Amino acid sequence: MRKIIFNEKVLEEALAIGKEHLGEGNVADYIPELKKVDPNKIAISVIEDDKYINVGDCEQKFSIQSIIKVILYSLALENYRMDVLKQYVGVKPSAKPFNSVIELELSEKSIPINPFINAGAIVVVALLHGIYGDKTFDAILKKASEFLATDLTYSKEIAESEKASSFANRTLIYLMLSRGILSKNTNVEEVLDTYFKACSILTTTKDLAHMSYCLSNGGKSLNGNRIVTEKEARILRALMATCGTYDYSGDFAIRVGLPAKSGVGGGIVTASEDKYGLAVYSPALDSHGNSYCGVRMLEYLSEKLKLFIY
Ligand code: GLU
């Protein structure tokens, strides 16, 4: 483990770099409710042992979106052996957008290639329904609240907006039903409702820094609670490194050099083995679905503080 020393000055510098890029990128508009967010919000949060540093709009709530896929997969790892899980969802990086139908169609046996694209996360939610039944969303919310070290809620408006515009996700789930990846008894509406609610969980960079800390501290939270095993934390970091920023993961590894998971809500949570937490937010996205300013702020911090691990 290396000791990385963050300070407010360097975070303010990174924030200023991010602000120079406000106006670039676009907020997600395929989910109508996400179009309403203010594109000029921007924030960075860091946790180092008992030191918190927050700059910018750190209290601003936004939907967690794809970042929840890390937590969904952690619940799957808790309940299924890896070899069983791999019959439903792979661990390969993706070369196509996160909701690509063609990638699912062309993948071996139409198994989603990783759990961090939509098809993969939907399969994981279906598997979790097999364990938790109608308490699945409660289990997800509980696990997310442990990871983020706070009581979380979800936005009904965003979940309903996702549901009303879920054409791509419906295509993916029906394709997986037709190929037998999902059992014919799958309750499609129940699985999709849970998935939309999970993506609509509201968070802040302050909360996400706790998730980052936990992943970077072998699965233990800041107050010492074990949230996932060391092995699970390692698997999650590995998947974040290879699949966490969609089909931009290779570029992200070069630019920032850290495992990370982004979401179309504009958050990015990082991971390392250096026992600090780091999360950023700004809702305008690049063409891959990653926060445009967020990537640039992380790139600056990584360069300045030598955060990169590759
Ligand atoms: N709820 C979003 C969707 O299903 C998640 C996408 C993302 O953040 O990558 O499209």
User: Distance between CA 46 and CA 104 in Å, rounded?
Assistant: 36
Domain end point (choices 164, 199, 234): 199
Domain end point (choices 178, 199, 220): 199
Q: How many CB atoms lie within 10 A of CB 79?
A: 14
114 is a domain residue: yes
Domain end point (choices 199, 226, 244): 199
60 is a domain residue: yes
CATH code (residue 170):
3.40.710.10
Strand-pairing partners, residue 132, are none
> Does residue 169 sit in the same domain as residue 210?
no
Structure tokens at 15: 């924030």
257 DSSP 8-state letter: -
> Does residue 208 sit in the same domain as residue 285?
yes
What ligand 1 atom has the least distance to the C-alpha of 265? 8
272 is a domain residue: yes
80 DSSP 8-state letter: S
Q: What is the mean pLDDT of residues 159-182?
A: 95
Task: Say how many Å lie between the CA of residue 121 and the centre of ligand 1.
Answer: 10
Task: Say how many Å lie between the CA of residue 200 and the centre of ligand 1.
Answer: 9
Task: Say how many Å lie between the CA of residue 273 and the centre of ligand 1.
Answer: 27
Per cent of the chain over pLDDT 70 is 100
User: Distance between CA 57 and CA 89 in Å, rounded?
Assistant: 36
> Does residue 24 sit in the same domain as residue 117?
no
Residue holding tokens 């993969």?
120
227 is a domain residue: yes
> Does residue 99 sit in the same domain as residue 192?
yes
> Does residue 60 sit in the same domain as residue 209?
yes
Does residue 176 carry a pLDDT above 80?
yes
273 is a domain residue: yes
> Does residue 151 sit in the same domain as residue 182?
yes
Q: Among 35, 64, 65, 287, name the best residue to mutate to test ligand 1's pocket (greatest count of ligand atoms within 8 A of Cβ).
A: 65
> Does residue 104 sit in the same domain as residue 163?
yes
User: Distance between CA 103 and CA 195 in Å, rounded?
Assistant: 20
Q: Among 68, 98, 194, 203, name the best residue to mutate to test ligand 1's pocket (greatest count of ligand atoms within 8 A of Cβ).
A: 98
What ligand 1 atom has the least distance to the C-alpha of 99? 10
Structure tokens at 228: 């996932």
Does residue 4 carry a pLDDT above 90?
no
> Which one, of 17, 6, 9, lies nearest residue 296 by Cα?
17
User: Distance between CA 28 and CA 32 in Å, rounded?
Assistant: 8
The domain containing residue 113 runs over which residues? 66-199
Helix, strand, coil percent content, the chain, rounded in steps of 5: 50, 10, 35
> Which one, of 190, 245, 191, 292, lies nearest residue 67 by Cα?
245
Q: Among 31, 64, 201, 246, name the best residue to mutate to test ligand 1's pocket (greatest count of ligand atoms within 8 A of Cβ).
A: 31
> Does residue 86 sit in the same domain as residue 130?
yes
Number of domains the chain contains: 2
> Which one, of 226, 222, 223, lies nearest residue 209 by Cα?
222
Strand-pairing partners, residue 62, are 203
Q: If you take atom 3 of ligand 1, which residue's CA is the nearest one?
A: 118
End-to-end Cα distance, the chain: 14
1 is a domain residue: no
Residue 3 banded pLDDT, cuts 50, 70, 90: confident
Contact 217, 4 (CB under 8 A): no
> Does residue 130 sit in the same domain as residue 255?
no
Q: What is the mean pLDDT of residues 170-192?
A: 95
What ligand 1 atom has the least distance to the C-alpha of 199? 1
The confidence score (pLDDT) of residue 260 equals 98
User: Distance between CA 30 and CA 23 in Å, rounded?
Assistant: 19
Give the model confidence (pLDDT) of 213-250 as tens digits. Answer: 999 999 999 999 999 999 999 999 999 999 999 999 99
144 is a domain residue: yes
> Which one, of 243, 245, 235, lies nearest residue 215 by Cα?
235
> Does residue 239 sit in the same domain as residue 168?
no
> Does residue 168 sit in the same domain as residue 209?
no
Q: Which residues line ligand 1 (CB under 6 A)?
A: 65-66, 98-99, 118, 162, 169, 199, 263-264, 289
> Which one, of 191, 80, 58, 88, lies nearest residue 133 by Cα?
191
User: Distance between CA 92 and CA 108 in Å, rounded?
Assistant: 11
Give the model confidence (pLDDT) of 37-94 as tens digits. Answer: 999 999 999 999 879 999 999 999 999 999 999 999 999 999 999 999 999 999 999 8
pTM here is 0.97
Task: Say how many Å lie between the CA of residue 184 and the centre of ligand 1.
Answer: 24
Say if strands 267-270 and 62-63 run parallel, antiparallel, or are unpaired: unpaired
User: Distance between CA 220 and CA 218 in Å, rounded?
Assistant: 6
